[in-house]
Copies of this chain bind each other. A is one copy, B any other.
């Protein structure tokens, strides 16, 4: 809790199979499955289109304009992790570039989610290392002040505990608490189970009004049609 200058080495990660299975469902379905919570603010955007990943969160708390702790967090990465970086105050500096990405990737990281800026967008795209960020900026950072690694952080308006599952794609970034990852996967799969059937019906011209039986509640709510 607001501990500065500490690195937690042992965190309990969400189950690997569960974590990995969540990627395919996508951030929107997972967010719905959790009861429409867990989504980071929509200013978090991918640096290139099409990436869709899930992974276990290792967290890092940074200070404005200081990326020292990104080197510290690199050592704590295990294969299948996604690094989640929060900053103690709003900042758009470019904390992360292709050298750090090379290191993160070598450690097995799948992505970076950072509530600040990133740079080297072109090489990062070429090496296919996805980043969700608040900004893109060449602005470099210093290495002067300690933050922390693997403490609970708030990133883009969402609380992240180390070991939670991160699901990120073109629609945004969702945080699934470790304790409800299995339940969420189940709910997300159930949600998706009959989507194919629904899609076929809608494609054939059947209206959602009929498929979801909305006409009666709409009428009860007072909807009037005027010719």
A89 interface contact, C-beta 8 A: yes
Given A2-B177, A39-B89, A223-B5, are A122 and B52 also a contact pair (CB < 8 Å)? yes
A214 → B minimal CB distance (Å): 6
Q: Which of A182-218 contact B (CB under 8 A)?
A: 195, 198-199, 202-205, 207-209, 212, 214, 218
Q: Which of A50-83 contact B (CB under 8 A)?
A: 50, 52, 63-66, 68, 71-72, 74-75
A136 interface contact, C-beta 8 A: yes
For residue A180, which residues in chain B have a CB less than 8 angstroms away from its CB? 1-2
Of A90, A122, A199, the most chain B CB neighbours within 10 A belong to: A90
- Of the four ranges (under 10, 10 to 19, 20 to 34, 35 or more), the interface on chain A belongs to 35 or more
A135 interface contact, C-beta 8 A: yes
Q: Which of A21-49 contact B (CB under 8 A)?
A: 26-28, 31-32, 34-39, 41-42, 45, 49
Given A103-B208, A106-B202, are A139 and B5 also a contact pair (CB < 8 Å)? no
Q: Which of A108-156 contact B (CB under 8 A)?
A: 117, 119-122, 125, 135-140, 142-146, 152, 154
CB of A170 within 8 A of CB of B42, answer no
Of A4, A74, A139, the most chain B CB neighbours within 10 A belong to: A139
CA distance A39 to B32 in the complex (A): 30
Name the contact of A37 in the complex, choosing from B6, B88, B121, B157 (C-beta under 8 A).
B88
7 nearest CB pairs, A to B:
A64-B65, A42-B137, A71-B208, A103-B202, A28-B138, A121-B170, A138-B171
18 contacts across the A-B interface (CB closer than 8 A): A26-B138, A36-B63, A36-B88, A39-B88, A42-B90, A42-B137, A71-B209, A72-B223, A74-B209, A89-B91, A89-B139, A102-B202, A119-B171, A136-B170, A139-B172, A146-B218, A154-B158, A154-B159
Beyond known contacts A89-B137, A99-B199: 20 more, CB 8 A cutoff: A6-B225, A26-B120, A26-B138, A28-B119, A28-B140, A37-B88, A42-B137, A64-B64, A64-B91, A71-B207, A72-B209, A75-B209, A121-B170, A121-B171, A136-B172, A138-B171, A144-B145, A146-B218, A146-B223, A159-B159
